[in-house]
A = this chain, B = another copy of it.
Amino acid sequence: MTAHPPAGYGYLPAASLPHVAPRPTLRDVATAAGVHPATASRALNDATRSLVRPATVARVREMAAALGYQVNPIARSLKTSRSETVGVLVPDLTNPLFPPIVRGIEDALGDSGYTVLTANTDNDPARTSSNFAAMQARQVDGFIVATALLDDPLMHDAAARGVPMVLVNRLTEHLDVSAVSADDATGIERTVDHLVGLGHRDIAHVAGPLRVSTGAVRLRAFRAAMQSHGLRDDRVVEAEAYSEAAGRACLLKLLDGDRPTAVVAGNDLLALGCYDALAESGLSCPDDVSIVGFNDMPFISRLQPPLTSVRVPQYELGVEAARLLLDRLSGRTVTPRVVLLPVRLVVRGSTAPPPLVKRPARPAG
């Protein structure tokens, strides 16, 4: 079998023996079309296309197609200092909350010809900052940030420098940039209503880290909802991170004192940790303690027991964030907007009426 010409290229420029064929350049199509490279550039570019005679446009585009010409984004970026690329910062792709968001972003941006560069920051400000800088060096046109802290110097700094960006899921205080998030407050309110409706009075909250907006907003909403029902709002433990381990630790702490009959977890991972803590203490969910999560992660409905959770439209979160950024990049919209997407409480097997009499917890081990 002999070497065959690479697919997708015409055979006009004699393919030399090395098996890597040079991509045709703008100059090549210009020559082939008998025009100056500048003219070819204008003919190929939709924005400047009107400057050149239609017949010429046709000829150039025809040759471009025949040669299989594709613009070199690198060269274009160097000249235009834009890159048709946006940077996406997430804490950890391995957290099931984020893949759907990222997918939504990629799909929406992809439709507009953008590609995305993602980075995992593990909630480490140093990593966040270095990734941010690296992406800026790569001339990304904008950012979608899912790692923002409530008080985030990096974000403020970037916003002050006029870097186009959109926050998703997590917001930053006093920051004048567009953002999209779920309607956390309403979600928590519905959750508390649900539990109270079932008869619960002793409701605790395993709060997410208070330095991120989701943690703070949900905590505030929890307090407000409890107060509106005339119930104690101070059974709260703050988790160190949105992780199972942290959730477990928090609930163990709560079980240690006057045991609540229901727990509003800051998110699904924390709720999973609560499951673990209950199991270790010989308690059952929902018979002894009801648990509610947040986010409605994929597959969470198949858990043992299926977790009652607040569904947030994760994919749409990504799509909407992408849209906001596109608006900003196209210069259509300049004034920042904050979009809250509606949520819905999905009731499953992890919530039930409180036990008539509290069983004693069995010490672990």
What are 11 A-B pairs with beta-carbon distances under 8 A?
Answer: A71-B137, A75-B78, A78-B78, A93-B93, A93-B102, A93-B103, A103-B120, A110-B119, A115-B134, A118-B118, A275-B302
A99 at the interface (CB under 8 A from B): yes
Contact code string A239-255 (vs B, CB < 8 Å = 1, else 0)? 00000000000000000
Further contacts, 17 of them, CB under 8 A, given A74-B74, A106-B120, A302-B304: A19-B161, A19-B162, A21-B161, A70-B133, A72-B78, A73-B137, A73-B138, A74-B78, A74-B138, A75-B78, A93-B102, A106-B119, A115-B119, A115-B138, A272-B302, A275-B302, A299-B303
Partner of A304, one of B4, B77, B303: B303
A139 (CB) vs chain B CBs: closest residue = B74
Contact indicator B94/A100 (Cβ below 8 Å)? yes
Chain A 1-34 against B: per-residue CB contact (8 Å), 1 yes, 0 no? 0011011100000000001110000000000000
Check A38 for interface membership: any CB of B closer than 8 A.
no
Q: Mark A98-141, 1 if CB is under 8 A from B, else 0.
A: 01101100110010000111111000000000000110011100
For the complex, is A305 an interface residue (Cβ under 8 Å from B)?
A: yes
- Our pick among B6, B110, B275, B299 for the contact of A96 (Cβ within 8 Å) is B299
| A19, B306: Cα distance in complex, Å | 52
Could you list which residues of chain A lie within 8 angstroms of chain B, going by C-beta atoms?
Answer: 3-4, 6-8, 19-21, 70-75, 77-78, 83, 92-94, 96, 99-100, 102-103, 106-107, 110, 115-120, 133-134, 137-139, 157, 160-162, 272, 275, 298-300, 302-306
Residue numbers in B under 8 Å from A303 (CB-CB): 299, 302-304
Q: How far is the CB of A248 from chain B (nearest CB, A)?
A: 13
Partner of A7, one of B94, B103, B157: B157
Q: A94-B99, A99-B94 are in contact. Are A6 and B161 (CB under 8 A)?
A: yes
Q: Which residues of B contact A299 (CB under 8 A)?
A: 96, 272, 299-300, 303
Q: Contacts of A77 on B, CB cut-off 8 Å?
A: 74
Most buried by B among A94, A107, A133: A94
CA A96 – CA B97 in complex, angstroms? 11
Give the distance in Å from the alpha carbon of A160 to the alpha carbon of B107 in the complex: 30
How long is the Cα–Cα vector from A78 to B8 in the complex, in angstroms? 22
* Cα-based distance from A21 to B157 in the complex (angstroms): 13
Known contacts A74-B74, A137-B73, A275-B302, A115 near B117 by CB under 8 Å: yes
Most chain B CB neighbours (cut-off 10 Å) among A6, A70, A116, A302: A302
Chain B residues, CB < 8 A from A304: 302-306
Residues of B within 8 A of A119 (CB): 106, 110, 115
Contacts of A99 in B (CB 8 A): 93-94, 96, 99
Give the residue name and chain of the B residue nearest to A315 (CB): B94
Given contacts A93-B103, A302-B304, A303-B303, whether A20 and B162 have CB atoms under 8 Å apart is yes
Closest 9 CB pairs of A and B: A304-B304, A93-B99, A74-B77, A74-B78, A94-B99, A70-B137, A19-B162, A302-B303, A73-B138
